[in-house]
Amino acid sequence: MSTTRPEGYWSGVFKRLKRDKLTLICSGILLLMLIVMIAAPLIAPHSPYQGSMIRRLKPIGFPGYPLGTDELGRDMIARLIYGGRLSWTLGISPVVIAFTIGGMLGIIAGYAGGWLGMLIMRVTDIFYAFPSVLLAVAISGALGAGIFNAVLALTLVFIPPIIRVAESVTTSVRVLDYVESARASGAGAFTIVRVHVLPNVLGPIFVYATNLISVSMILASGLSFLGLGTKPPEPEWGLMLNTLRTAIYNQPLIAMLPGVCIFITSICFNMVSDGLRSAMDVRN
Amino acid sequence: MTLAPIPDRGGPAQPLLLVKDLSKHFGKSGSVVRAVDGVSFAIRKGETLGIVGESGCGKSTTSRLIMGLIDPTAGEVIFDGEHVGPGGLSVAEFRRQVQMVFQDSYASLNPRLTISESIGFAPRVHGLSREATNARVRDLLAAVGLEPDQFAQRYPHELSGGQRQRVNIARALALRPRLIILDEPVSALDKSVEAQVLNLLVDLKAEFGLSYLFISHDLNVVQYISDRVLVMYLGRVAEIGPVDDLYAHPSHPYTRALLASRPSMDPDHRRTTPPLTGDPPNPVNVPSGCRFHPRCAQVMPKCSAAEPEMVKINADHQAACFLAETVPA
């Protein structure tokens, strides 16, 4: 139809991302971690469950165990790789579910306004009254330990803040002239939300949700640390941190390793989220 | 479905749009903002009615009320002899015939849609096929002076303010409306572009057989484009009349003050009287009697006691002032 095709929105975003070295490095690290975790059975030198009483708490660099062994003599490399699988699942899946549900509710609240918006936002406020850590602990404590319950608890913790962000972004877009003009053209609410509201609000909500991944990972580790998330002998970074804390005087470096993994992952997710935020800003 | 222009019904003598006692009060009892308070006027077929007034006098609220973007507190809109609303012309049908161009050319275009998608949105919503919509978009782009090949696939941020406003005009034309409400369409443009867009509007009016409701605070622009002018003050009609008559013989002190506030280009006709001072009163606490009396240069005791009725100055010219007198024809 046309002879000139100037760049679209997403190609512009990618172009700006390519210039952002820090974001690129961080996404590279995350991608590498993902590949290693997916290929865990091929990469891990030992089983993450098979321990040995004579090889307990060997230091970093011990022959055959480059990152040493834990308090039950299990290979730390294998534990960290398999633990990442669980930690990432616990970090990402609540955010994905909360993004879907919270985003939807927030957009409805923001676009519809009135009593429906009021109802959604006031219920959100009730959840806001509790500190997020306390809420997660309370919900998962009430439901009992287990991965599914931990994901459920974290999802419930993340829905309110996502609703709030989605609602405020939608409210600011709803009053813009192009939405008014779409209403004046006789389009229905569903069409307007799909064509005019969604593309303009999903970006900010998505960036905010990316930010929550690191929080979710830390909270999930916290739940496991308290014995509310995963149960031993499952490897999970938070749980490993908990069980290794008894060895902190003998092998402080090994006791730190799961924490280092959590730290690197959350820093990387935060950096990528920041990079996305600035790359998605059209005004740059 | 072809989305052809809707034919005229009532004949040339019937007003295209009749607004009767339109009111919009915001807020709850106690602190009610009377943004628009009993406004009545008519737009004739083929004419441009200009609305002028200070910021906050209810110009934009009036346009949004007519479009049905906000619900009126009271009043009625009649389009080509038919009441708009339940029992009459449906809002959907009405919106096909009345479209709007906003002041902020950037905010009125979705940043994620190409120009062609923005213009084609309304025809697609009304069921026009993809091919027919594309053809119409290209025709409209050409009609507003933008080369279709060059602009159809661009995004709003790649265009200048004037180009964006042309796109907005094309979008307003996409449903083949009969009336276009222009809410400060050139206020955000620089002077040379403003003139181009005004000329474009004049050309399009003839080409598509349109009527305009042109809202502006710029008296020169209104004088240039309008056939008749309506002066609003604090949610009320102060004066309405043919543009030449009203500019030459303003009957309401507020109209006189507005016209006097224009900078004169002629050094021999420097302004001698001080311009209108102060802000319009808070529309929550509307002054008693005539709303303009606290700022009026010719205020009389009865002005604060009673609200003046519209006085017919001549067949077409009316003003809401006790001093306005009927001029014998």
Sequential DSSP letters for chain A: --S-----HHHHHHHHHHH-HHHHHHHHHHHHHHHHHHTHHHH-SS-SS---GGGTTPPTTBTTBTT-B-TTS-BHHHHHHHHHHHHHHHHHHHHHHHHHHHHHHHHHHHHH-HHHHHHHHHHHHHHHTS-HHHHHHHHHHHH-SSHHHHHHHHHHHHHHHHHHHHHHHHHHHHTSHHHHHHHHTT--HHHHIIIIIHHHHHHHHHHHHHHHHHHHHHHHHHHHHTTSS--TTS--HHHHHHHHGGGTTT-HHHHHHHHHHHHHHHHHHHHHHHHHHHHT-TT-
Nearest to A253 by CA among A70, A48, A82: A70
DSSP string, B87-153: TSB-HHHHHHHEEEE-S-TTTTS-TTS-HHHHHHHHHHHTT--HHHHHHHHHHHHHHTT--HHHHTT
CATH number for the domain harbouring residue A59: 1.10.3720.10
Question: Inter-axis angle of helices A177-184 and B115-125, to 10 degrees?
Answer: 30
Check residue B258 and give its pLDDT.
86
B204 is written with which tokens?
Answer: 């399009």
Residue B198's H or E segment, with its range, is: helix B191-208
Residue pLDDT, tens place only, B178-211: 999 999 888 888 888 899 999 999 999 999 999 9
Using CA atoms, how far apart are residues B210 and B201, in angstroms rounded to an integer? Answer: 10
Please report whether residue A7 resides in a domain.
Answer: no
Q: Which pLDDT does position A284 carry in this prediction?
A: 47
Q: How does DSSP classify residue B4?
A: P
- DSSP per residue, B71-94: --SEEEEEETTEEBSTTSB-HHHH
CA distance A110 to chain B (A): 17
pLDDT digits (tens, 9 = 90+) for B14-71: 889 999 999 988 887 778 888 888 899 999 999 999 999 888 788 889 998 998 888 8
Fill in the amino acid letter for B127.
G
Report yes or no: A3 at the B interface, CB cutoff 8 Å: yes
The total number of residues written for chain A in this structure = 284
Helices (H) and strands (E) in chain B, counts: 10, 12
Please state the separation of Cα B202 from the chain's center in Å: 15
In a domain, A284, yes or no: no
| A6 within some domain | no
Question: What is the arithmetic mean of pLDDT over A112-132?
Answer: 90
In what helix (H) or strand (E) does residue B49 lie, and over which residues does it extend? strand B48-52
Tell me how many domains chain A contains. Answer: 1
Is residue A140 assigned to a domain? yes
State the Cα angle at B70 between B287 and B28, rounded to 5°.
50
Q: Which residues of A touch B149 (CB under 8 A)?
A: 2-4
Q: Which residue has the higher pLDDT, A60 or A131?
A: A131
- The answer to whether residue A2 sits within a structural domain is no
pLDDT band per the 50, 70, 90 thresholds, residue B5: confident
Average the pLDDT over each of A67-81, B215-229, B259-273 and give the range with the smallest value: B259-273
**B interface toward A at CB cutoff 8 Å?**
64, 67-69, 91-92, 95-96, 99-100, 102, 104, 107-113, 116, 118, 121-122, 125-126, 134, 148-150, 152-155, 157-158, 168, 171, 174-175
Q: Which of A2, A6, A183 sits opposite B158 (nearest CB)?
A: A6
pLDDT tens for each residue of B118-169: 999 999 988 889 999 999 999 999 999 999 999 988 888 888 889 999 999 9
Q: In this predicted complex, what is the ipTM?
A: 0.80
Over pLDDT 90: what percentage of chain B? 37
Residue A114, chain B, CB below 8 Å: the answer is no
Q: How far apart are the first and last CA of chain A?
A: 29
Looking at the partner chain, which of B92, B108, B111 has a beta carbon nearest the beta carbon of A181? B108
pLDDT on residue A134: 87
Closest residue by Cα to residue A271 from A19, A13, A22, A14:
A22
Among A146-150, B15-19, B80-84, B87-91, name the one with the lowest average pLDDT: B87-91
> Is residue A70, in this structure, part of any structural domain at all?
yes
Contact A183 B69 (CB under 8 A): yes
CA distances to A6, B161, B258, B275 from B158, in Å? 9, 10, 38, 41
Q: Is residue A12 part of a domain?
A: no
- CA-atom Rg of chain A in angstroms: 23
Residue A138 covered by a domain: yes
Q: Give A34's contacts (C-beta < 8 A, 6+ positions apart).
A: A88
To the nearest whole number, what is the mean pLDDT of chain B? 87
Min Cα separation B108/chain A (Å) = 4
User: For residue A200, what is the nearest residue in chain B, using CA coordinates?
Assistant: B112
The residue that leads in pLDDT, B38 or B327, is B38
Chain A, residues 198-217, CB within 8 A of chain B, namely 199-200
Closest-CA residue of B relative to A4 is: B150
CB–CB contact B96 A186 (8 Å):
yes
Q: Is the pLDDT of residue A24 over 80?
A: yes
Contact B110/A6, CB-based, under 8 Å?
A: no
Least CB-CB distance to B157: which of A178, A186, A282?
A282
Owning domain of residue A194: 19-46+54-279
